[in-house]
Structure 1
Amino acid sequence: MRRSAEMQGAQSSAVRLLLLSCCVCATDGYPFRTPLDLDVTPRVTVLSSGLQGCRRFQSSAVDYSTMFLEADSERLYVGARGAVFALNASDISVSSVLTIEWEASPQQKLQCLLKGKDNKTECFNHIRFLQTFNSTHLYMCGTHAFSPLCAYIDKERFVMSSQPEEGKDKCPYGPTTGYTALIVDQQMYTASQYEFRSFPDIRRNSPSPTLKTEDAPTRWLNEADFVGSALVRESLGSSTGDDDKIYYFFTERSQEQTTTYSHSRVARVARVCKGDRGGLLTLQKRWTSFLKARLTCSLPEYDFHFNMLRSVFVMPGLTPQDTLFYGIFGLEWKNVKASAVCRFSLSEVQEAFQGPYMENQDSGFKWKEYTGKIPDPRPGTCITDALRARGINFSTSLPDDVLNFVRRHPLMSQQVQPSDRRPLLFRRTTDYTHMAVHTIQGLDGKTYHVLYMGTDEGWLHKAVEIEGWLHIIEELQLFEEPQPVNNLLLSEKQMSVYVSSPSGVVQLPLSNCLRYTSCYDCVFARDPHCAWNGAQCVDIMAQEDRSTLIQDIQQGSKGCENTQNEIVARSRSVRVGDDVLLQCELSSNLATPLWTLDGSELQGYGLNSGIRTGTDGLLIIEARTDQSGLYTCYAVENNIKVAIVTYNITIHLDLPPPPPVEPTQDHYSFSATLPAPTERPSPERPLPPPPASHLPHSELLSPRNMEAMYLSLITILGGLCVVLTVVLVYVGVCLRVGNRGKYSIRAAASAYPNSKRHNRHRKQHRNSSHMELKTISSHCNGNGICNGISKQHNGDIQDGGFLQIVPGEGHPSSNKEPPPPAPPLPPTPQHPSPECDFPNGLSATLPSVLRRMNGNSYVLLRQSESDSTSPLCYSFAEELNRILEKRKHTQLLPRPDESSV
């Protein structure tokens, strides 16, 4: 019954996640923030090739999982599989690296194999713990092929100063078992599942007194998976003489069964007192101060809970009461990616531990709030001055009724709520693994928390908390190959962030302000580290005089009104009828393009407007003389328009356009051009024949000049008009192409000008004496994918195809053979498929489609309005966005000619 209820709860939560994702998609770009508007987009994306100030360390070892940096030391200690390294903290890439090799012996590996463990992952010595023990030594522990060992390291010489000692009570057996540990005043506090098939446990190890959690009659930990721990010295400045406490963070199987939620696993925070010595008889060698409470990170409006705790960072405050806990939460379903970041205050945690207890009714899973009498002194509290005044100086002096109550009531009823009762951040399709937080004071005098979060695919997100929300400043690709971030550390002294992964360690500066090249770009970033000094974006930490610096973290829009922004100015001369692409690349993912013509905003980018816009440019289709003028591209961000580039477009009427030839039955019209020549013909100097463009698998009809084309077509028309009337329509189309002097009908095979097949068929194209048409079959399979390219042989064209026109010029004909008969019209599909992509990448039913050809040229396929609503393929907006997104990652030619398409 309980398992069935859990399955139903999981299914309902999955449905809520699906609805939530749909709602978030629907609210993207909404002008005000709602609880669903948390799926923040990083403002800037930087690939690994563009990282600046990046330093790396790699060796023959793998699985760099443990890092430790002493505040006053220049060394970064890193634990990997079978080795420990001491790196230069200021530059980890320098060659002066100290190494301790610590591999498991072949005999130990063999015993590991006999236990049924994996000889590729588990049967090695993975360093799981590495911290300072005292001023002269470090202490480390490793899995040692499923038989843990620990050892001391001499800091100065960086060698093992003693033989390894037993580590089964201090270190887990496996490399992936949940584990957290810290050394406090030379006492080691650990939490993990230590022994093989044992229960999870929180322990204080040597020196004595050793303590652990209770297993019976009430088990205090239920399949707990630990992610972090922290010491909070609450005794400092305490008016009650309170004790220091160690807080543990983990995820475990749920013990509560209430009407408000039902989850198989929940996030927890637990605490023990540093001065705890256990009970005298009851709870002997057990914690007397152990209490735990639930951490909630949810979207309450939608009853959706992130119940898997992945990582925790403890942010100390000016006083212990100001301590903050930042947590990364995920979903229980491994096949669904989503992350949330919640922040908790120490006062909220303390309030939960002062609240009511939960009680187990029948030693099962039916826990409910305890309403009976609570013994005095309050169970689970540390020893205070008030207790010392009553003669209770140590936990061994606590009454048995108090200790028995602690044994049976480890769980608190009150849940720990996050700040503002909601997440700071919600990210779909991202699994954060580790995080660290840095505090910095902005120029406005406010203190800002900057979060660095690593993902499971090797990205680093830098975000700033502004009024309870997270703004992701940038996302950095740390590794070319996706791999998880294993650990993450910050150093204010070195102003660096260190990230470890399975393949190595990366060091990056906390900020890279020089990335922003203008005042607006610097201010829009809202990076507390960066400000504009009038000439460049600089790091405020390195500036002694900050009086003239410009920074606006709260709004990200003020301060640059009186600064000059460099605008790229370009001029283009275009012939009437050309298709013109004006490029405008936006560096910010949050900016949107806005185009103006002679100062007036361009409106209505409809099918008949002759204009298309995308994320990186504006396309003018069949330019007209009235479209000449000054085009300006603006980047709109934070309600501020910033001019990026201007184009002075002049459209010349060199040749009168021929009268359009209307097809009798064809529903499709085609248009294509080559990049416009840099020089325009004059009346005194004829236009030289432009170079031919080539596509593989095509044969051409190519007149050398306009007169030859006219004579050839007139002769063909005179000879065939008596025999075939259909040929007249086809020859009319060819005549139109000839009059334009810029079009040629090509085969419909997909091609790239730099391909090997192109070079192989180049001479064939030049010497072609007849025209061969190829059609692309309109037949689609059941999956919506169009198949097949049917060629014409001896004048026959297979039915059911579409013609394609590609950029090119005509070539002369060496004979007077008549052209082949006209192809049949494309049939109307009876059962349109939801998606129909041709092998060459063109979608036949789109009203307008752009395709990348040779870096800066395009093929444009247009469809008449009567067929513009065909459901066969993607809409124009979807297809255009998809294509332009792909183009973002395509290497452009050195200086593309943007005047033509």
Structure 2
Amino acid sequence: MKEVTLTFLSLFISRFCASFTNYEPRLTLHQDSEDRVRYNGTHNTVLFHEEGSDDIYIGAKHLVLRISLEKKLIMQYFSLCPRDGQNWNEISCSYMTTVIQQFEDSLFLCGTDGHTPQCWKLYPPAENQTSAISAGFSGRGISPYFVSQNLLTLAADGDLYAAAPLYSDGSLLQFRRNRGKRKNTWMYEKWVLEPTFISAAWIKRKDDPENEKIYIFFREKNSDSNPEADPWISRIAQVCKVDEGGPKRFFQNTWTSFLKARLMCGIPEESLYFNRLQDVFVQEADDWRDRRVFVLFTSSWNSSAVCIYSLSDIARVFQNSSFKDFHENIPNPRPGMCVADSRKLPGETLSVVKDHAEMDDWIQPMNKQRPFYISSLNYTKIAVDRVMGTNRELYNVLFLATENRIHKVLEHNSKPFIISETLLPNRMGHIQTIQLDSKKRKLLVGLPDELALVDLQSCQNYNQSCEDCVLARDPYCAWAEAGCRPVDNTEWGGIQDVAGGITEICKGSKTRRKKRDTPEMLSCDVPQTTYSVLLDLPFYLSCPIHSHHATYVWEHSNQSSKCQQDQSTCLHLITAVKEDSYGTYECYSEERDYTQCVKAYKLVPKLDNTATSISAQGAAMAFTVSLISALCL
């Protein structure tokens, strides 16, 4: 029964996605081999980079590497193995780097050898000195014992927060404040059930720092034992930054402001929900109420969804919702509120937090909409950039990662448009982490043995014409005299239509027409290739596919025909050449308001009886493609 249900859901998702145009990447790009830095990561990569900096730190087995973003070179390495005198011992040790975090006056490093997690401090180089690593100390509760165990760290306002198991068997996995200027604080063990912590964010309030929150995103085991229920539920929880635990007699060193709520992402009228939270990106804004949270989910039927939440809506649920299974008067102060001294909270307030920390209301996406984006692909990571176009409007661009590709997705009017996909070679392994540097216009992609630097702009890929640049709908790029170039926010020049991709704004176009069947027939101005072919032999013509959003057609003797299309080529097959097969063939692409001639051929009779090599190749290819097409039907 469950398999039938999953099959139905997969079919539903496929049809749901098919109902939206442009749910396929418009362009397929390949990662430039020059934009990579190779290293021996041994199947675990931890990445740290401060936006705008040239330094990238990669944590791998035994080592932490410092890489130059500009030079794309390993500049320095730091061994986590025991020291031998003044030099790091080259003997291999078992440490795998698990944490790299900027904390206090240094980089905070942690690793595990499977027995006793250790942490170090990496101090930046002083004048005329190199960087140095301090002696190690216990990383229990900060780093896991094994890289397969759950881990989360956050440095915020002088404190270090972490979620890692206290014991090697993975037990006592909690979100704690472990180090810093405030008291160490932890969770009540019954608040969560077998959690997997995904992300944490410090939400600053410039006008009200005492009410600043730490939000924790995680999924936990569903207490509903119904076999039809998803085994996981996605959550968001809050704690107050100033929370230092309760009084000595009750909840000492335990969060007094912990509350959790369910993150809803799905189609309620279809009882269709994405319950497995995978990744989170919290977007910055001057006012914390304007900040948006982009959350990536997957489902039990191998589909993905992105839902977008407003931070003000999240705060409203924690402030106003009733408490699940609590039916008495809500005490004052309200449970979960930030107070100047949490050690003075009354027992009535703390009892509600202890026994009824879950909210009745669910966190709904913005405007209670359906998911912003649903896909049959299994995405694992998300990052979001905010880009200003030539019209001085701001656009959100999402970067979604699967195991070996990055999708670049425009958000416009709450609808997605997939600008492109960038393929990474299979030999690079699965993507483990991504990090956005908006200032440098780079996406840092960590893989087991390589760091890939993906250009956020990639305007050179739309450089065929003004129309090609406009059709891309890429807010990073605009057409100017020099071609399709990155938008320069200091000059505000260039032709761009991010909202609609309408090419009428390109002046002097010679190839545009509204519809192929209108009287405005085009004259094809691309060079024509002539082939001499024999009668009764099969032959094929090929046309390169640039945009997957375009429709490709062949025109011959005032007749139009669709092509047989794969990922990169549009074919026209002639099973047996006849007298009326000779003449001119033109391949046109049609996309939005723009039509262009891509290829042109002329077939003429061959007078002798000897087939040319081209004809022989054409016959073989035509036969192969025809056979494959027949088998796929």
TM-score, length of structure 1 as denominator length: 0.62
How far apart in 2 are the matches of 1:175 and 1:85? 18
Query: Is the contact made by 2:113 and 2:146 (CA closer than 8 Å) also made in structure 1?
Result: no
Query: Which residue does 1:590 correspond to in 2?
Result: 549
Q: Deviations over 1:813-832 (max 9, x none)?
A: xxxxxxxxxxxxxxxxxxxx
Of the three residues 203, 226, 234, the one matched with 1:232 is 203
Query: Which residue does 1:533 correspond to in 2?
Result: 480
Query: Which residue does 1:340 correspond to in 2?
Result: 305
Query: CA separation of 1:289/1:20 partners in 2, compared to 1, >3 Å: closer, same or farther?
Result: same
User: Secondary structure at 1:285's aligned position in 2?
Assistant: coil
User: Secondary structure at 1:350's aligned position in 2?
Assistant: helix
Query: CA separation of 1:882/1:373 partners in 2, compared to 1, >3 Å: closer, same or farther?
Result: same
Query: Which residue does 1:70 correspond to in 2?
Result: 50
Does 1:394 find its partner at 2:348?
no
How far apart in 1 are the matches of 2:174 and 2:225? 23
Query: CA separation of 1:222/1:371 partners in 2, compared to 1, >3 Å: closer, same or farther?
Result: same
How far apart in 1 are the matches of 2:198 and 2:342? 28
Structure 1 runs not aligned, ≥5 long = 1-7, 106-119, 360-368, 384-392, 606-611, 653-679, 682-686, 694-806, 808-852, 863-873, 884-901
Query: CA separation of 1:29/1:595 partners in 2, compared to 1, >3 Å: closer, same or farther?
Result: farther
Where do 1:378-393 residues align within 5 Å? 378-383=334-339, 393=340
Does 1:553 find its partner at 2:521?
no
User: Secondary structure at 1:351's aligned position in 2?
Assistant: helix
Does 1:19 find its partner at 2:8?
yes
User: Secondary structure at 1:635's aligned position in 2?
Assistant: strand
User: Secondary structure at 1:858's aligned position in 2?
Assistant: helix
User: Secondary structure at 2:380's aligned position in 1?
Assistant: strand
User: Secondary structure at 2:230's aligned position in 1?
Assistant: coil
Give the C-alpha shift of residue 330 in structure 1: 1.2
Query: Which residue does 2:77 correspond to in 1?
Result: 99
Amino acid at match of 2:42: V
Of the three residues 26, 35, 42, the one matched with 1:55 is 35
Of the three residues 361, 375, 394, the one matched with 2:331 is 375
Query: CA separation of 1:496/1:881 partners in 2, compared to 1, >3 Å: closer, same or farther?
Result: farther
Amino acid at match of 1:551: Q
Query: Is the contact made by 1:152 and 1:162 (CA closer than 8 Å) also made in structure 2?
Result: yes
How far apart in 2 are the matches of 1:104 and 1:459? 38
How far apart in 1 are the matches of 2:474 and 2:192? 42
Q: Deviations over 1:597-650 (max 9, x none)?
A: 35x3426x8xxxxxx754512123433434444322111223532221222344
Query: CA separation of 1:72/1:590 partners in 2, compared to 1, >3 Å: closer, same or farther?
Result: closer
TM-score, length of structure 2 as denominator length: 0.87
Amino acid at match of 1:203: R
Give the C-alpha shift of residue 594 in structure 1: 1.5
How far apart in 1 are the matches of 2:6 and 2:486? 41
Query: Which residue does 2:184 correspond to in 1?
Result: 210
Identity value in percent: 27
How far apart in 1 are the matches of 2:155 and 2:622? 67
Q: Deviations over 1:838-884 (max 9, x none)?
A: xxxxxxxxxxxxxxx75x4426669xxxxxxxxxxx9x79725959x
Query: Is the contact made by 1:89 and 1:494 (CA closer than 8 Å) also made in structure 2?
Result: no
Give the C-alpha shift of residue 277 in structure 1: 1.4
Query: Which residue does 2:29 correspond to in 1?
Result: 46
Query: CA separation of 1:292/1:322 partners in 2, compared to 1, >3 Å: closer, same or farther?
Result: same
Amino acid at match of 2:162: T
Give the C-alpha shift of residue 263 in structure 1: 2.8
Does 1:272 find its partner at 2:272?
no
User: Secondary structure at 2:330's aligned position in 1?
Assistant: coil
Does 1:637 find its partner at 2:585?
no
Query: Is the contact made by 2:17 and 2:374 (CA closer than 8 Å) also made in structure 1?
Result: no
User: Secondary structure at 2:470's aligned position in 1?
Assistant: helix
Query: Which residue does 2:250 correspond to in 1?
Result: 282
Of the three residues 468, 493, 504, the one matched with 2:439 is 493
Query: Is the contact made by 1:314 and 1:326 (CA closer than 8 Å) also made in structure 2?
Result: yes
User: Secondary structure at 1:247's aligned position in 2?
Assistant: strand
Query: Is the contact made by 1:277 and 1:396 (CA closer than 8 Å) also made in structure 2?
Result: yes
Q: Paired residues, what number?
A: 600
Q: Deviations over 1:728-753 (max 9, x none)?
A: xxxxxxxxxxxxxxxxxxxxxxxxxx
Query: Which residue does 2:220 correspond to in 1?
Result: 252
Does 1:127 find its partner at 2:97?
yes
Query: Is the contact made by 1:294 and 1:415 (CA closer than 8 Å) also made in structure 2?
Result: yes
Give the C-alpha shift of residue 73 in structure 1: 3.3
User: Secondary structure at 2:544's aligned position in 1?
Assistant: coil
User: Secondary structure at 2:10's aligned position in 1?
Assistant: helix
Query: Is the contact made by 2:574 and 2:622 (CA closer than 8 Å) also made in structure 1?
Result: no
Of the three residues 407, 410, 433, the one matched with 1:461 is 407
Query: CA separation of 1:29/1:298 partners in 2, compared to 1, >3 Å: closer, same or farther?
Result: closer
Of the three residues 442, 459, 475, the one matched with 1:513 is 459
Of the three residues 135, 138, 151, the one matched with 1:179 is 151
How far apart in 2 are the matches of 1:400 and 1:534? 71
Does 1:191 find its partner at 2:176?
no
How far apart in 2 are the matches of 1:370 and 1:560? 63
Query: Is the contact made by 2:52 and 2:440 (CA closer than 8 Å) also made in structure 1?
Result: no
Query: Is the contact made by 1:488 and 1:497 (CA closer than 8 Å) also made in structure 2?
Result: yes
How far apart in 2 are the matches of 1:688 and 1:578? 11
Query: Is the contact made by 1:104 and 1:145 (CA closer than 8 Å) also made in structure 2?
Result: no
Query: Is the contact made by 1:200 and 1:222 (CA closer than 8 Å) also made in structure 2?
Result: no
User: Secondary structure at 1:584's aligned position in 2?
Assistant: strand
User: Secondary structure at 2:354's aligned position in 1?
Assistant: helix
Does 1:148 find its partner at 2:102?
no
Amino acid at match of 1:88: S
How far apart in 1 are the matches of 2:585 and 2:17? 29
Query: Which residue does 2:62 correspond to in 1?
Result: 82
Query: Is the contact made by 1:523 and 1:557 (CA closer than 8 Å) also made in structure 2?
Result: yes
Query: Is the contact made by 1:282 and 1:404 (CA closer than 8 Å) also made in structure 2?
Result: no
Query: CA separation of 1:613/1:57 partners in 2, compared to 1, >3 Å: closer, same or farther?
Result: closer
How far apart in 1 are the matches of 2:260 and 2:130? 39
Query: CA separation of 1:397/1:613 partners in 2, compared to 1, >3 Å: closer, same or farther?
Result: closer
How far apart in 2 are the matches of 1:228 and 1:879? 46
Query: Which residue does 1:427 correspond to in 2?
Result: 375
Query: CA separation of 1:342/1:124 partners in 2, compared to 1, >3 Å: closer, same or farther?
Result: farther
Give the C-alpha shift of residue 376 in structure 1: 1.0
Query: Is the contact made by 2:55 and 2:68 (CA closer than 8 Å) also made in structure 1?
Result: yes
Pick the structure with more strand per residue.
2
How far apart in 2 are the matches of 1:576 and 1:644? 26
Query: Which residue does 1:888 correspond to in 2?
Result: none
Query: CA separation of 1:639/1:192 partners in 2, compared to 1, >3 Å: closer, same or farther?
Result: farther
Amino acid at match of 2:295: G
Report which stretch shifted further, 164-173 or 615-624. 615-624
Amino acid at match of 1:250: F
Of the three residues 256, 260, 263, the one matched with 1:295 is 263
Query: Is the contact made by 1:288 and 1:380 (CA closer than 8 Å) also made in structure 2?
Result: yes
How far apart in 2 are the matches of 1:627 and 1:146? 75
How far apart in 1 are the matches of 2:16 and 2:308? 24
Does 1:163 find its partner at 2:135?
yes
Larger Rg: 1
Of the three residues 284, 296, 312, the one matched with 1:316 is 284
Query: CA separation of 1:690/1:602 partners in 2, compared to 1, >3 Å: closer, same or farther?
Result: closer
How far apart in 2 are the matches of 1:229 and 1:573? 67
User: Secondary structure at 2:485's aligned position in 1?
Assistant: strand
Query: CA separation of 1:102/1:637 partners in 2, compared to 1, >3 Å: closer, same or farther?
Result: same
User: Secondary structure at 2:313's aligned position in 1?
Assistant: helix
